[in-house]
């Protein structure tokens, strides 16, 4: 059984990827400082898989503590999610994002080199493309100016890994540029659980629908899109999780063509914010209280993926739609709200 370190394993995408790794015969080990996550997600993982996943409560910006994890284990690969990810927050706290996201990445790479961990998967983002003029974007689409410090950390992170891979021939890396992860596990036992105030669209929608927010705002109504709102490529978190497993298998089977490869992960279709709201109303059967508001700093106008590279090389195929995303996210919202009521 191959052992995999999942950094940020208590987070949204990390926790769902742990489930997919277990379902595909891997032994995942988690590390998470729980800065923006909850260790209780491990209970949901155990209920779904029957497996208890070990978690190290460590800040990866601390090199010595990170080194001890690698010294205690023998990893076949690392999937690196751990990072701060709020676009809006990064605009107002740029140094926090540069310090956290880049230092943690460099420390993990340093340990991969020191302890001979050969396979590295990086959680990148479509935000690296900026306001791309040609859609859909391919892996060859040139980076535009980053629209936020968060996006800049992803651009810089990719460059760091590319340079690292050039001189460390025993290390193979994959950069996964994914679009807008959303939804929840079909069991409704794990899902997006923001510790700080949610800023991603789907949890904002479900929190509004269940009454945690009086109303929500659509940020921008005058963009050059079909209905004036931003357009995004929403991908179900379990489809995204499976892509990480397939990327790791691709490296383990030595199918990579170079030491550092890039893959877009999206469904390949753009959905506007208004269309996402309509999808929620369709699957939930209830009207959402929302208003049109001003543009939000850091947002790009429109972005969606050309995902043919991931299809052909990784053998990856997303199977869930925007309706599936909204249905599973709504089931998760109702489950966690009911659980909170019972605890009180």
CA distance 335 to 51: 21
CATH of residue 156's domain is: 3.40.50.720
Number of domains in the chain: 1
Q: What is the mean pLDDT of residues 188-212?
A: 89
Q: What percent of the chain has pLDDT over 70?
A: 98
CB 200 within 8 A of CB 288: no
Phi and psi at residue 156, to the nearest 5°: -65, -40
Nearest residue to 104 via CA among 89, 120, 82, 85: 82
Question: Tokens 């050309």 map to which residue?
Answer: 306
Sign of CA dihedral 23, 115, 252, 85: positive
- Band (59; pLDDT cuts 50, 70, 90): very high
Looking up tokens 């990579």 gives 256
pLDDT above 70 (res 341): no
Q: Under a CB-based contact definition with an 8 Å cutoff, are residues 83 and 123 in contact?
A: yes
Task: Check 129, 150, 178, 290 and give the catalytic one.
Answer: 150
Range of 138's domain? 3-343
Whether residue 304 lies in the annotated active site: no
Per-residue pLDDT, averaged over 150-177, amounts to 97
């Amino acid at each position: 059984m191959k052992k995999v370190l999942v950094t940020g394993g208590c987070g949204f995408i990390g926790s769902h990827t742990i489930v997919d790794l277990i379902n595909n015969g891997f032994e995942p080990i988690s590390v998470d400082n729980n800065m923006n996550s909850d260790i209780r997600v491990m209970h949901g993982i155990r209920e779904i898989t029957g497996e208890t996943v070990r978690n190290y409560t460590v800040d990866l910006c601390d090199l010595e503590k990170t080194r001890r994890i690698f010294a205690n284990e023998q990893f076949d690969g690392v999937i690196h999610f751990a990072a701060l990810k709020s676009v809006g927050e990064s605009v107002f706290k740029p140094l926090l994002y540069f310090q956290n996201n880049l230092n943690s990445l460099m420390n993990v790479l340093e340990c991969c080199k020191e302890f001979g961990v050969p396979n590295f998967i990086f959680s990148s983002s479509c935000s690296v493309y900026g306001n791309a003029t040609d859609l859909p974007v391919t892996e060859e689409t040139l980076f535009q100016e980053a629209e936020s410090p968060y996006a800049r950390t992803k651009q810089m992170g990719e460059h760091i890994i590319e340079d690292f891979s050039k001189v460390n021939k025993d290390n193979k890396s994959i950069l996964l540029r994914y679009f807008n992860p959303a939804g929840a596990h079909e069991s409704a036992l794990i899902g997006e659980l923001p510790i700080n105030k949610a800023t991603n669209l789907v949890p904002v929608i479900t929190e509004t629908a269940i009454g945690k927010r009086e109303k929500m705002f659509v940020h921008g109504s005058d963009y050059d899109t079909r209905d004036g709102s931003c357009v995004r490529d929403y991908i179900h978190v379990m489809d995204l999780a499976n892509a990480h497993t397939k990327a790791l298998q691709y490296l383990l089977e030595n199918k990579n063509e170079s030491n550092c490869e890039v893959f877009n992960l999206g469904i390949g279709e753009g959905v506007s914010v208004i269309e996402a709201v309509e999808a929620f109303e369709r699957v939930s059967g209830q009207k959402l209280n929302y208003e049109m508001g001003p543009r939000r700093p850091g947002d790009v106008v429109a972005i969606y993926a050309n995902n043919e590279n991931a299809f052909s090389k990784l053998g990856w195929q997303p199977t869930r739609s925007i309706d599936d995303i909204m249905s599973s996210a709504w089931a998760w919202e109702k489950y966690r709200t009911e659980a909170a009521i019972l605890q009180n």
